[in-house]
Amino acid sequence: MNKKITLVVTTISEPNKVLQKLATGCQTNNWNFIIVGDTKSPKNFTLTGSEYYDIQAQIASGLKYAQICPTRHYARKNIGYLLAMKYGTQLIVETDDDNLPLNSFWEESYPQIKCKIIDKAGWVNVYKYFSDHLIWPRGLPLDKINESVPSYENLTISSSYCPIQQGLANDNPDVDAIYRLVLPLPIKFRGDIKLGLGVESWCPFNSQNTVWFPPAYPLMYLPAYCSFRMTDIWRSFVAQRICWENGWRILFFSPTVYQERNDHNLMHDFEDEVSGYLNNQKIAQSLSDLKLFSGEQQIPDNLRKCYDIFIRLGLVKSEESELLEAWLQDLNQVIV
């Protein structure tokens, strides 16, 4: 594999129309395409234009993390990230098997971005900049939904280093179960917004349309000993907190995918999100209070400190520490 960009998806589906379209796009644009399976995945998964790793292939990869990560969990996507790094990819893009790419999905990304910026704003409902509807991203504390945000027109424009970039999704965007139970969809977002969130500004981001540059690769770690609905949200809080130390911003940009959502039991989703509804503000405050250090070489220790917070709060099991150490050991082997 000598291509510069790798797309990573995890699935338990047959090669559906989304995966087929992603595979075709990867071939057309000379991207790698890694698909990570799980125990419920089809036994004879085959899709031209992709590299599929079933459980046996993941274990045979030599990655320590692959040996001990729980099955039947979205966090097995971490194995796909590590495999992409192992092959020397210069950019990792991730999405899910129900997000259809727009043409803009395949456009080149750059870490240095001239955009509007927000610093020291606390919780920010970023969706307010992309839509006039009452809507908020999954993971935003419920009592922050209706808080005002600084006027977009009055925000400062700056050239920002953004090694993590979150694209939105049209039609069925990433919202929580409460939104889906009571408010209407579909929704389309504005197509001309780029916004960089910096120090002391919080907004959850997901794993559904996210671009990662190499300095931020260690921050891709998805915790496994928590619910599927919180793993990418809690990762985003850790990543934001560590980005602050390095003067990095998180870029939020207009949709490059549209979602045709897989079937979900919304009340099960709600149940899986309760730990976030009740604790996300506490998590952010605890992470804010941490003493962290700047520099890419400090990221492993900073990650340990952040996930220790989740363990101390009783939000992830203590076994998460072993998984994180395996991730960090694998990173040392695959990043050269």
Residue 285, class by beta-carbon neighbours within 10 Å (0-12 exposed, 13-18 middle, 19+ buried)?
Answer: exposed
For tokens 């996210």, the residue is 210
Mean pLDDT (the chain) is: 96
Q: What is the pLDDT of residue 336?
A: 65
Average pLDDT for residues 308-314, to the nearest whole number? 97
Q: How many CB atoms lie within 10 A of CB 157?
A: 11
Average pLDDT for residues 315-324, to the nearest whole number? 97
Average pLDDT for residues 208-236, to the nearest whole number? 97
Q: What is the pLDDT of residue 335?
A: 84
Q: What is the CATH number of the domain that holds 165?
A: 3.90.550
C-alpha 282/C-alpha 149 separation (Å) is 21
pLDDT tens digits, one per residue of 67-101:
999 999 999 999 999 999 999 999 999 999 999 99
In this prediction, residue 263 has a pLDDT band, given cuts at 50, 70 and 90, of: confident
Say yes or no to pLDDT of 219 above 90. yes
How many independent structural domains does the chain possess? 1
Phi, psi angles (nearest 5°) of residue 308: -60, -35
Q: What angle do CA 286, 309, 241 make, to 5 degrees?
A: 55
**Domain hosting residue 105, numbered range:** 5-334
Q: Is the peptide bond before 186 cis (omega within 30 degrees of 0)?
A: yes
Give, in order, the Cα–Cα distances in Å from 45 to each of 39, 56, 197, 261: 12, 13, 39, 21
Say if pTM beats, i.e. exceeds, 0.95: yes
Say yes or no to pLDDT of 138 above 60. yes
For tokens 């506490």, the residue is 282
Asked if 164 and 212 count as a contact pair (C-beta separation under 8 A), the reply is: yes
Say yes or no to pLDDT of 166 above 90. yes
